[in-house]
Amino acid sequence: MAAEQINAEGGILGRNITIVAQDDDSETQPDIAVASNAMTKLITVDHADYIISTGGSIITLPYQDICSEHKKIILTVATTTDNYTLRVIENYEKYKYSFRTCPANATTISEGLLGDIITVGNYTGFTKVALLFGESSSQRAKAADLKRTLPAHGFQIVYDKFFTEGTTDFASYLAGIESAGAEIIVPYITGQSGTSFVKEWYDRQSPTVIWGVLTLAGDSSFWNLTQGKCDTISTNGYPTTSGYPLTNKTVPTREAYIRRWGEVPTMTAVGAYDTLRFILPDALRRAGTTETEAVVEALENTDVETSCARHFVFTSSHDVLVGSGVPNNPAEDYMVMCIFQWQSGTQVPVKPEAIMKEAGVTFKYPNWRGPWSNFPTP
């Protein structure tokens, strides 16, 4: 879709965009040899000028090595490994061809989770936290980060459990959370289990607020999937998913995708789209050439509006700049980690606070009794 739109506008530097693709042929765990061969073929057989890739660290780093060897620019989405951009700092001449456009690195995500919890704590005054994360090494690492950092901000972790993938019965977990006196549940649920968790939380009228990561909850279908029982849950999300007009491009991107494919775009889809539609063309036009070294320099000086950022900017390590990091500029002007809350069938932004105020909404509590009873909505 991005290529079609660019070409309809006359292309870039007088040339049309052509998409070529290879697949690592994996359903779950990729075969590094197959994936590496696919990347090499893209460069040596298909003669790709620029690479947009996805994938976890197991194949992202080999991809990075291959592109560095061939001096090809690679822009990754849907990988959070720190090493990908750390390599740019440690060996710039070799890895300067690597950029990340979506999302951020694992360290930034952990810091974002901490900031999320601090925000809901400020809204509510609650300090007793329950962590309920999926069983995986990456989620254990994120939970460990929170257990290390939250107490310094006045929070008490009263419950901390991991559940196995595919869990559909959360009664014992919720009972334990309530028995521990938790006020805030911070879930990290990336699959179908999120639907069961939310419905069970609602049905038992758990005296807690949910504020965390529920990947399915960002989809517009989640309201119907839960029969509206997701009302007042807050989860991380992207403005293109919720439909909040963060930038001038957010809603047009979302609507064009829905018209084309009949569904709301995922984070990865929007990351890839923004990379090809806005970030790379902006750099090429400013460079005035397709010469690789000139394009690398132009990318390093990127400041362009995308579907997810009013100003998309790269850090010195070629990572996406999240939050401010720029003196005297508001954090919401750059890529932001948003929290959206379901309210009466609509997702509204409740973090960053400046965007919540901009949207004219407030954070809301469940409509049953809990620790929020007898005091007004913040």
- 291-300: long-range contacts (C-beta < 8 A, 24 or more apart)? 292/71, 292/72, 292/73, 292/97, 295/73, 296/73, 296/96, 296/97, 299/73, 299/99
Task: Quickly state the pLDDT bin for 176 (edges 50, 70, 90).
Answer: very high
Q: Reply yes or no on whether the pLDDT at 178 is more than 70.
A: yes
What angle, 0 to 180 degrees and rounded to 10, lies between the N-to-C axes of helices 57-70 and 32-44? Answer: 30
Superfamily of domain 107-245+337-359 in the CATH hierarchy = Response regulator (3.40.50.2300)
> What pLDDT does 376 receive?
61
H or E element at residue 186: strand 184-189
Q: Span 219-230, mean pLDDT? A: 92
> What pLDDT does 303 receive?
96
Q: Reply yes or no on whether the pLDDT at 277 is more than 70.
A: yes
Angle in degrees, CA 191, 159, 140, rounded to 5: 50
346-351 β-sheet, strand order: 156-163, 128-134, 184-189, 209-214, 234-237, 338-343, 346-351
Cis preceding-peptide flag for 330 (omega within 30 of 0): no
- Token pair recorded at residue 245: 């007009």
List, in sequence order, the alpha helices (H) in the chain: 2-8, 32-44, 57-70, 82-90, 92-95, 106-124, 137-149, 171-179, 193-203, 222-225, 239-242, 250-261, 267-274, 280-287, 292-300, 353-359
Residues near 270 by beta carbon (within 8 Å), at least 6 away in sequence? 102, 238, 240, 253, 257, 307, 308
Nearest one of 106, 78, 355 to 244, comparing CA atoms: 355
Q: Is residue 35 within 8 Å of residue 44, measured between CB atoms?
A: no
> What pLDDT does 316 receive?
95
**How many whole angstroms separate alpha carbon 100 and alpha carbon 223?**
32
> 56-60, 219-223, 262-266: which has the minimum mean pLDDT?
56-60
What angle, 0 to 180 degrees and rounded to 10, lies between the N-to-C axes of helices 106-124 and 137-149? Answer: 50
> What pLDDT does 30 receive?
78
What are the pLDDT digits (tens) for 78-106? 888 889 999 999 999 999 999 999 876 66
Q: Reply yes or no on whether the pLDDT at 180 is more than 70.
A: yes
Q: Is residue 199 within 8 Å of residue 222, measured between CB atoms?
A: no
> What pLDDT does 58 receive?
83
Nearest one of 321, 310, 308 to 253, comparing CA atoms: 308
Considering the chain, what percentage of its residues have pLDDT values greater than 90?
A: 73
Highest averaged pLDDT of the listed ranges 110-119, 285-294, 320-329: 285-294
> What pLDDT does 106 receive?
67
Q: Reply yes or no on whether the pLDDT at 326 is more than 70.
A: no
**Numbered ranges of CATH 3.40.50.2300 in the chain:** 2-102+262-300, 107-245+337-359
Residues near 88 by beta carbon (within 8 Å), at least 6 away in sequence? 95, 96, 98, 317, 318
Q: Reply yes or no on whether the pLDDT at 218 is more than 90.
A: no
Residues near 97 by beta carbon (within 8 Å), at least 6 away in sequence? 67, 68, 71, 72, 73, 74, 292, 296
**How many whole angstroms separate alpha carbon 52 and alpha carbon 123?**
39
Task: Quickly state the pLDDT bin for 377 (edges 50, 70, 90).
Answer: low
> What pLDDT does 36 receive?
93
- Mean of per-residue pLDDT scores for the chain: 91
**Euclidean distance between the first and final Cα of the chain, in Å?**
42
Q: Is residue 1 within 8 Å of residue 273, measured between CB atoms?
A: yes
Q: Is the dihedral of CA 165, 167, 168, 173 positive or negative?
A: negative
Q: Reply yes or no on whether the pLDDT at 197 is more than 80.
A: yes
> 37-46, 73-82, 116-125, 169-178: which has the minimum mean pLDDT?
73-82
Superfamily of domain 2-102+262-300 in the CATH hierarchy = Response regulator (3.40.50.2300)
> What pLDDT does 158 receive?
97
Task: Quickly state the pLDDT bin for 327 (edges 50, 70, 90).
Answer: low
Q: Reply yes or no on whether the pLDDT at 325 is more than 60.
A: no
pTM to 2 decimal places: 0.84
Alpha carbon 110 to chain centroid distance? 12
